[in-house]
Structure formats: C-alpha cells, structure tokens
Amino acid sequence: MSILQGKYHFLINPKSSGGYTGRNWSDLQAVIRKQVGDFTYEFTDSPGAATRLAARALKNKVDLIAVVGGDGTISETVNGFFEPGVPKRKVPVAILNQGTGGDFCRTLGVPTDLHLALQTIKSGRDVACDVGRVQFVANDGSEATRYFVNVAGCGMAGEVVEAINKSKKRFGGFSYFLTSAGKLLSYRKRAIRVQWDDDSRTEHRIVSLAICNGQFFGGGMQVSPYSELSDGKFEIVLIQDWNIVQSLWYSKNMYNGSIGACRGVDMRSATRITVEPVREGESVLIDIDGESPGRLPLTAEIQPAAVHFRI
C-alpha cells in the first residue's frame, strides 16, 4: 500500500498474538479507522521487515508510525530510525500491543485496551526514550550492529530466547517460564569478562547478564525494577553462580521486583559496557529485545533520548 505524506502509518505483524492480528485485520482496521481517521498500513512479511518499512515511511515524512505487534516488531521498527538516509525528525511511535510477552510495553505504560491505545495516537504525549546500540558477532560470524529499546544480554537468557523463537509460543508469556525451567537442567554457567565505563574490568561466572533500558523481560520477569527509559543510562543486572535450587527458589523474586535482594545478584549502572567470554572461542549466546541474533563479544552504548514514543 502506498504511503501518504503527512499521515499515520501502521506497521502490522500479522503473526502477532498467535496469528490473531492477521486473521482479524479486517475488523481491527475498521476499529482503527473509526477512531483515528485516515491511515496507511503495511504488513511485515519476514524477519527485519519492520526495520525496512519503518525507514521507508520515515523517508516519506509520515507524522507517526504505529506498531501493531509485539516487542520484536517494536524493536525492529526502532532500528529503522537508524538506517542510512533516514532524516533526523522526531517522529513518534505508537504501539498497539499484540505481542506474546509485552515486556517493553509494561515499562512504557502502553494501555492494554485497544481503544485506549488508539486514543493515545491523537491525544497522547510524546516521551523521549533512550536506545541501546549493540555491536556483536552475528550468527554467521560477521560483525553486526543493532539497536534495542528494552533489554539485551547473554548467558542462559540467550539460550532461552533462542529456544522460544524456535517454538510455537503456544503458552504465551508463560512459555518463557517453562523454557527457563527446562534450561536449568542443561545450562552450563559461563565465565565472562566485563569492561565498565571507567575501563575497569571484572570477571563473573554467570547464569545471565542483562543490560537493561526497560524493567521487564521474559514475559513479565521484572529483572531491573530501577530502570527508567529516559535517564541516559543502563542498569546492568548480573545473576551470578546460582545453583538449580537457588534458581528455582529465587524465581518468585524475578516476578515481584525484589531480585536485588537475592544472593549472587550484582546491579550496576553504566552508559557503556563490553562483555566477552573468558575462555577464548567459547560461544556465549546473546539476546536483544527477545531475539537471538548472535554471540559474544558485545559492546553496548546508550543513545540518550533517541526515539520518541506516544503514550
């Protein structure tokens, strides 16, 4: 569908909500048009499509991009703002959350009700949010760069995300809990080296390391209760050498925001962090906004107030 200059442009992931979005797009479209008026739209049809479509919409000078999908589609859309040739304009992103986990939406405060979410397009306020820029080794061995709005990390979280994305996510957000519980039996803790803002280096044997812009990951786990989307820094959460019993016992703390009180958890703030495996050649998987694009080493840097969201 052609993009009309000066209009609202919607990017729709038809596979979101277990395919509900695509199957019911005719009804959803009617509801959207009734509340916001004229708009244009495009469907994503492959991994990375939202990045390409968002970049094209921005080059066509739309006034707002609305994402109909989940965290992965939101993240891809944000990456479109950093594509070559995209003009530096403060075009806001609105979200109609149709995802499995909805973790970024929890921190941002996106309404779960469709009608309330649509109201924000015309009457909401724009919030400037930080974005993380990550350089890492892609799955094909090449050097890669990607941007994230919620959480990036490595360790067991990377392996869980890889397994989740190969599954049908038939249990929704609970899929993350089930997969994590299964991974406890097979996961081998990784030794990593971390370089911080001040160039100091520390070594850790971890279950997971999370570089947090948002507070939630894994379908509702509040891994970083002190994160703020607009404070110009990451919160880094290191879950260190937990055994299986500790991992199961502390799982409740992952959901109620008290993870910082758990033994073996280290929480720090940083604007730049580099993570690499201690054992040369060891493959430590990473996760970026719920996707599994590669492995360590990685370097993450904060991009303050880089993208605006309408809420």
Q: How many domains does the chain have?
A: 2
How far is the C-alpha of 143 from the C-alpha of 63, rounded, in Å?
Answer: 33
285 and 143, same domain (yes or no) = yes
Determine the pLDDT at residue 170: 46
Handedness of CA 112, 115, 118, 120 (dihedral sign): negative
Domain final residue, candidates 62, 94, 124: 124
- At 120, which helix (H) or strand (E)? helix 114-123
Q: Could you identify the residue written with the tokens 């994402």?
A: 67
20 and 116, same domain (yes or no) = yes
- Average pLDDT over the chain reads 90
**Does residue 1 belong to any structural domain of this protein?**
no
CA 56 to chain centre: 22
Domain final residue, candidates 91, 124, 157: 124
Ramachandran region, residue 194 (left: φ > 0; alpha: ψ -120 to 50; beta: rest):
beta
% of the chain surpassing 70 pLDDT: 88
161 and 227, same domain (yes or no) = yes
Q: What is the CATH number of the domain that holds 91?
A: 3.40.50.10330
147 and 270, same domain (yes or no) = yes
Contact present, 223 and 165 (Cβ < 8 Å): no
* pLDDT greater than 90 at residue 6: no
Contact present, 72 and 290 (Cβ < 8 Å): yes
190 and 297, same domain (yes or no) = yes
Residue 163 confidence class, pLDDT cut points 50, 70, 90: low
Residue 99 confidence class, pLDDT cut points 50, 70, 90: confident
Contact present, 93 and 309 (Cβ < 8 Å): yes
140 and 119, same domain (yes or no) = no
How far is the C-alpha of 13 from the C-alpha of 116, rounded, in Å?
Answer: 20
How many residues are recorded in the chain? 311
184 and 248, same domain (yes or no) = yes
Contact present, 44 and 13 (Cβ < 8 Å): yes
Residue 251 confidence class, pLDDT cut points 50, 70, 90: confident
Query: Phi and psi (nearest 5°) for 155?
Result: 100, -145
Determine the pLDDT at residue 303: 98
Contact present, 65 and 58 (Cβ < 8 Å): yes
Handedness of CA 138, 142, 143, 147 (dihedral sign): negative
Q: Which domain holds residue 119?
A: 8-124
Domain final residue, candidates 94, 124, 154: 124
**Does residue 3 belong to any structural domain of this protein?**
no
**Does residue 114 belong to any structural domain of this protein?**
yes
- At 47, which helix (H) or strand (E)? none
**Does residue 310 belong to any structural domain of this protein?**
no
Contacts of 216 (CB under 8 A, 6+ apart): 101, 103, 104, 106, 107, 150, 151, 222, 223
